[in-house]
Amino acid sequence: MSVERTLILVKPDGVQRGLVGAVLGRIEQRGLKLVGLKMVQMDDALASRHYEAHVEKPFFEGLKAFMTSSPLVAAVFEGPNAVQAARNVMGATDPVEAAGGTIRGDLGLDIGRNLVHGSDSPEAGERETAIFFEPHELIAWARDSERWIIE
């Protein structure tokens, strides 16, 4: 059981639709611990850095336009297997394929408006966290409920 960090973004569609609390709440309710949180207006440079693996993809220009169109909310969650746990809560990339009970499966319809980003590996979790947060913005805090969530 490895303690990981994952970067979660409530994308501009989630913010515009008033779903910030719903999206973050599902991840919070899973038991992951919030250690960083901020609102961010993404620009082209930040989009290219965050999505560096997708810069050459045909959908990148549309993705960049969407991600820079309106503010997003960035959060860092920590916990055992945080990356996979959050991705399971998010559901498949295409909301039409995402299972019911997941964020994308319950709240989304279109791959280009899929509400939420979550890191896809522990390494990506560290890399992406460093893009959005300075070290001092990440809070190491003791959660009193910890022993009721993690053995």
Q: Which of 48, 83, 91 is nearest to 67 (CA)?
A: 48
- Partner residues linked to 117 by β-bridges: 9
* By the rule CB under 5 A, 120 interacts with Mg ion: yes
Q: Which one of ligand DAT, Mg ion, none interacts with residue 26, CB within 5 to 8 A by kind? A: none
Q: What are 29's two structure tokens?
A: 């309710």
Candidate residues 26, 117, 128, 133; the one interacting with ligand DAT per rule CB under 6 A: 117
The yes-or-no answer on residue 117 being catalytic is: yes
Catalytic position from the list 50, 54, 117, 136: 117
Reading across the β-sheet that carries 3-10, which strands appear in turn?
A: 33-40, 72-80, 3-10, 116-118
Binding part of the chain for ligand DAT, among 25-33, 95-103, 106-114, 126-134 by CB under 6 A, reads: 106-114
**Position 94 contacts Mg ion (CB under 5 A):** no
Residue 48 interacting with ligand DAT (CB under 6 A): no
Minimum distance, C-beta of residue 15 to ligand DAT, in the bound complex (Å): 15
Stretch that binds ligand DAT, among 25-33, 76-84, 111-119, 123-131 (CB under 6 A): 111-119
Q: Which does 111 bind (CB under 5 to 8 A by kind): ligand DAT, Mg ion, none?
A: ligand DAT
- Give contact residues for ligand DAT (rule: CB under 6 A): 54, 59, 63, 93, 111-112, 114, 117, 120
The residues annotated as belonging to the active site are 117
